[in-house]
Amino acid sequence: MQGVAGVSGPAFGARHIAIIMDGNGRWAKRKHLPRALGHKKGVEAVRNIVRVGGEMGLEAMTLYAFSSENWNRPEDEISDLMGLLRQYIQSDIEEFVQNGVRLKVIGNYKALDADIVGMIDNAIEKTAGNDKMTLAVALNYGAQDELLRAVQHVAARVKIGELEPDAIHVDHIAGALDTAELPPLDLLIRTSGELRLSNFLLWQAAYSELYFTDTLWPDFDKGELEKALQAFGSRERRFGGR
C-alpha cells in the first residue's frame, strides 16, 4: 500500500475524515456563557465545516454529534442538544440538496424521539440521490454498540446456515457496520485537547491517521481543517508495510 505523501489538492488525497467535535462546554465556560450557547455555536461550526469539506472535495465526513454515553448528561442538556438537532435538520436540508450532500446517520438513531427519527428518515430519503459528499452524523453512536450489532447480524446469518463460523471474514464484520458503504477512514480529528477516542469508530480507525488539536470545537474553522489536512498530507502511511 502506498502513502499519500506528495498528493496535493486541498484535501491532500484524503477521501474520508471523521471528527470528534469536543469542547462546546469549555468554550461556553471560558466566555461565561451557558453550555447551551456553546452547543449552538458548535452547530454553526458544523454548518461551516460541512460546506468547506464539500468544497475541498472530500467524499465523506463523519461527525460525532451524540454518543451512546452522552445519555449520562443532565436531562436539560440532552434536551438542549435534541432541540438543536431538530433545528439543524430542518434548517439545513435544503442546503444539503443544493450542495449535493447525502445525509447518512450512524449509531442507533431509531432510539431517539419519534419525531427526530421521522425528520432524519425524511432527510436521508430527500438527499439519497446526492453524490458530492456523504455527511455521516453519529447519533446515539458507540463503536462497541455498533460492533455488537454487527456481530449479532453475522451470528443470525450463521444460525440460518447461510455462513459457516470458520468462513467469517473481516469483510463480513466491516460490511455489517453502520459505515459499510463509506470509503476507508483516512483521518480522525479530535478537538479540545482530549487524547482519547471516546468509543468512536474503533474498528474503522485501525489505520487512520490521528490528529489532535487544542482548539475547541466552536472555534474549529476552515483554517483549522486546512491545518489538519496539511498534517495528514505530510504523514507517511505504511499500513504495516515498509
CB of 159 to ligand IPE, least distance (A): 34
Q: Is 70 a catalytic residue?
A: yes
181 binds ligand IPE (CB under 6 A): no
- Among 48, 70, 99, 130, the active-site one is 70
Binding mask 9-48 for Mg ion (x = CB under 5 A): -------------x--------------------------
Least Å from the CB of residue 168 to ligand IPE: 30
Measured in degrees and rounded to the nearest 5, phi and psi for residue 65 equal -105, -35
Residue 157 · residue 163 · CB < 8 Å: yes
Binding positions for ligand IPE, 72-91, rule CB under 6 A: 81
61 interacts with ligand IPE by CB under 6 A: no
Q: Which partner in ligand IPE, Mg ion, none is near 130 (CB below 5 to 8 A by kind)?
A: none
Closest chain position to Mg ion (CB): 22
26 binds ligand IPE (CB under 6 A): yes
Q: Does 178 bind Mg ion (CB under 5 A)?
A: no
Strands (E), the chain: 16-20, 60-67, 101-106, 133-141, 187-190, 209-212
- Annotated catalytic, 22? yes
E strands, 88-165, in order: 101-106, 133-141
Beta-carbon contacts of residue 239 (< 8 Å; ≥ 6 apart): 1, 207
Select from 16-24, 83-91, 117-125, 180-188 the region that touches ligand IPE (CB under 6 A).
16-24
Q: Which of 22, 92, 178, 186 is catalytic?
A: 22
| CA 22 remoteness from chain centre | 12
What are φ and ψ of residue 128, in 5° steps? -60, -30
Please report where in the chains the cell 502511511 appears, as a residue. 237
